[in-house]
């Protein structure tokens, strides 16, 4: 199990950090997307947050000064409509949903340092200042625009981005190829960003930094998008149609486009426009594949136009399905993280998402799958580390857990201090993944809080002739079973009921 566990953690860390490829920097600014508050959080939102949290904890473990931001995106037509449907003031509606995201992140120990809302005054100032910079430089102009518009996606689409389909009544319609949402022809006067001028710059940026978008296949996807001409981007909406948003500076009849507004949150948290230089140059984004274009094309173009540094990396992850089907409210198969944490525990669900998530392809969630994984790797293997084993039993346990590692390092030569040392290493490595369980493991092993950093990692120090600080140290209080086995039969029954 340890080799599998270690391999999974290392793969996630390599995916997120590419440690060998990135020079060490004292500061590290990590972001999740800010989550749209037209509906409450689901497991996909949690996956983004847990990935980012794992990376942030890992960076702190290695001694980085890390800023970690998340938050909520609260402007736009969908929010305006959702609030109206709920019969609530838009700000009241946004506050309620935003609090549900905060509650989720608190439950799952997401260790963010800043939670930003796009309705905050500090964000309004940042957006207005950024807009004026782009406008003064001539990158924003007013013009008439017409084209296919997707209300759910809040974006205009080109002919190559749409296809013919039918609605539920069989009537012919046009839909977005990417999202599947219906589009309508729209013509209006608004402000445009000269996106077309940045196509070559974006291509050069990606070619000169082949690891800036990870995994690699998403890097290639963006390059393919850039093979086509980039039309200028509509960056405002008529206020008569969209009043829930930030007013265009100097033009009360226009509202700033929600995606330009939203992306600037990363600068808001960095301290823009007053003090941001320390953080804006060390930014790493974690995003879902559905918002790749906004982060890999629009956002870098905005930054180039404003003269600000580009992101160090954009880490992209895929989506979760449920029993092979796309999650949707209509199917009733949306996975509720709070509900699942009651059964599988917070750390259990964190571990499952990080262990089973594959960033470059969609992953399937079902209860029996999580039960088998957690029973095998947390209840049996990791939990077995704390059992009061006889020395020869401990050797056999190491053999079972570490496979090839065991063969290379001859565990039959280990003494009890080496065993203790090895378990401490497991606990330290697992802190970014399952912080609560890792703390319990380290507490039981009497590892002080000051001894839980990357610099404290050293395999088999006594065996190698070095000093083992745990020699002669008594175990900490017995906190019981580390992770209780789960009932697999119950999970299978639950899954069958949902399918039926």
Q: Which tens digit of pLDDT belongs to each residue from 82-140?
A: 999 999 999 999 999 999 999 999 999 999 999 999 999 999 999 999 999 999 999 99
Residue 213 host element (H or E): strand 213-214
Residue 494's pLDDT is 58
pTM listed for this prediction? 0.84
Residue 25's pLDDT is 53
Closest among 98, 84, 122, 123 to 45, alpha carbons compared: 98
Q: Which whole number is the average pLDDT over 6-12?
A: 48
Task: Give the whole-number percent of the chain exceeding pLDDT 90.
Answer: 58
Cβ neighbours for 471, distance < 8 A, ≥ 6 positions apart: 417, 462
Q: Which residues on neighbouring strands pair with residue 284, listed in sequence order?
A: 30, 313
CA 469 to chain CA centroid, nearest Å: 37
CB burial class (10 A; 0-12, 13-18, 19+) of residue 382?
A: buried
Q: Which whole number is the average pLDDT over 294-303?
A: 98
Residue 459's pLDDT is 60
Average model confidence (pLDDT) for the chain? 85
Residue 405's pLDDT is 46
Cα distance between residue 126 and residue 466, in whole Å: 54
Spatial contact of 53 and 99, defined as CB atoms under 8 Å apart: no
pLDDT, tens only, 129-153: 999 999 999 999 998 877 888 877 7
Categorise residue 174: left if φ over 0, alpha if ψ from -120 to 50, beta otherwise. Answer: beta
Closest among 16, 9, 8, 53 to 317, alpha carbons compared: 16
Cβ neighbours for 456, distance < 8 A, ≥ 6 positions apart: 424, 428
pLDDT at 46 over 60: yes
Residue 19's pLDDT is 37
More confident: 490 or 266: 266
Q: How confident is the model at residue 73 (pLDDT cuts 50, 70, 90)?
A: very high
Q: Which residues on neighbouring strands pair with residue 65, listed in sequence order?
A: 27
For the ranges 195-209, 273-287, 397-411, 445-459, which has the lowest average pLDDT? 397-411
**Tokens of residue 169, six digits:** 């009544």
Residue 444's pLDDT is 87
Task: Give the whole-number percent of the chain exceeding pLDDT 70.
Answer: 83
Residue 490's pLDDT is 67
Residue 20's pLDDT is 35
pLDDT at 44 over 80: yes
Residue 464's pLDDT is 66
Q: How confident is the model at residue 422 (pLDDT cuts 50, 70, 90)?
A: low
pLDDT at 51 over 70: yes
For the ranges 158-172, 392-406, 481-495, which has the lowest average pLDDT? 392-406
For the ranges 74-88, 340-354, 404-418, which has the lowest average pLDDT? 404-418
Number of residues that this document lists for the chain: 500
Looking at mean pLDDT, say which of 25-39, 94-108, 483-497 comes out highest: 94-108
Q: Residue for token digits 């509202």? A: 255
Q: Which whole number is the average pLDDT over 317-340?
A: 88
Q: How confident is the model at residue 451 (pLDDT cuts 50, 70, 90)?
A: confident
């Amino acid at each position: 199990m340890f080799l599998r566990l270690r391999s999974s953690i290392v793969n996630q860390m390599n995916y997120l950090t590419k440690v060998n490829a990135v020079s060490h920097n004292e500061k590290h600014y990590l972001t999740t997307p800010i989550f749209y508050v037209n509906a409450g959080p689901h497991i996909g939102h949690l996956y983004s947050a847990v990935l980012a949290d794992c990376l942030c904890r890992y960076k702190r473990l290695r001694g980085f000064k890390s800023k970690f931001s998340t938050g909520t995106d609260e402007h736009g037509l969908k929010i305006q409509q959702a609030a109206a449907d709920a019969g609530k003031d838009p700000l009241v509606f946004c506050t309620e949903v935003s609090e549900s995201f905060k509650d989720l992140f608190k439950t799952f120990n997401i260790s963010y340092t800043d939670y930003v809302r796009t309705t905050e005054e500090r964000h309004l100032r940042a957006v207005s200042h950024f807009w004026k910079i782009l406008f003064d430089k001539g990158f924003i102009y007013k013009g008439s625009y017409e084209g296919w518009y997707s209300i759910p996606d809040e974006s205009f689409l080109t002919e190559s981005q749409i296809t013919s389909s039918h609605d539920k009544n069989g009537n012919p319609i046009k839909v977005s190829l990417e999202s599947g949402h219906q589009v309508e022809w729209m013509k209006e006067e608004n402000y445009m960003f000269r996106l077309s001028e940045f196509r070559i710059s974006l291509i050069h940026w990606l070619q000169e930094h082949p690891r800036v978008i990870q995994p690699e296949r998403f890097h290639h996807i963006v390059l393919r998008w850039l093979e086509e001409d980039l039309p200028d981007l509509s960056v405002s909406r008529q206020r008569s149609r969209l009043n829930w948003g930030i007013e265009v500076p100097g033009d009360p009849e226009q509202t700033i486009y929600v995606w330009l507004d939203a992306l600037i949150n990363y600068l808001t948290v960095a301290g823009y426009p007053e003090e941001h230089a320390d953080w804006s140059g060390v930014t790493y984004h974690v995003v879902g594949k559905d918002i790749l274009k906004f982060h890999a094309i629009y956002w870098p173009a905005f930054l180039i136009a404003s003269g600000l540094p580009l992101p160090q990396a954009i880490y992209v992850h895929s989506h979760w399905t449920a029993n092979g089907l796309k999650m949707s409210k209509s199917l009733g198969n949306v996975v509720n993280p709070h509900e699942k944490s009651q059964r599988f525990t917070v750390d259990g669900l964190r571990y499952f998402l990080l262990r089973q998530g594959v960033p470059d392809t969609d992953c399937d969630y079902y209860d029996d799958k999580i039960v088998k994984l957690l029973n095998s790797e947390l209840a049996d293997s990791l939990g077995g580390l704390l059992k009061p084993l006889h020395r020869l039993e401990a050797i056999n346990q190491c053999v079972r857990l570490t496979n090839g590692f065991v063969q290379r390092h001859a565990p039959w030569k280990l003494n009890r201090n080496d065993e203790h040392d090895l378990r401490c290493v497991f606990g330290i490595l697992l802190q970014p993944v399952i912080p609560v369980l890792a703390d319990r493991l380290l507490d039981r092993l009497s590892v002080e809080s000051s001894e839980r950093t990357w610099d404290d990692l050293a395999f088999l120090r006594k065996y190698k002739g070095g000093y083992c600080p745990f020699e002669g140290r008594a175990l900490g209080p017995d906190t019981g079973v580390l992770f209780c086995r789960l009932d697999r039969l119950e999970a299978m029954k639950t899954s069958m009921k949902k399918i039926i």
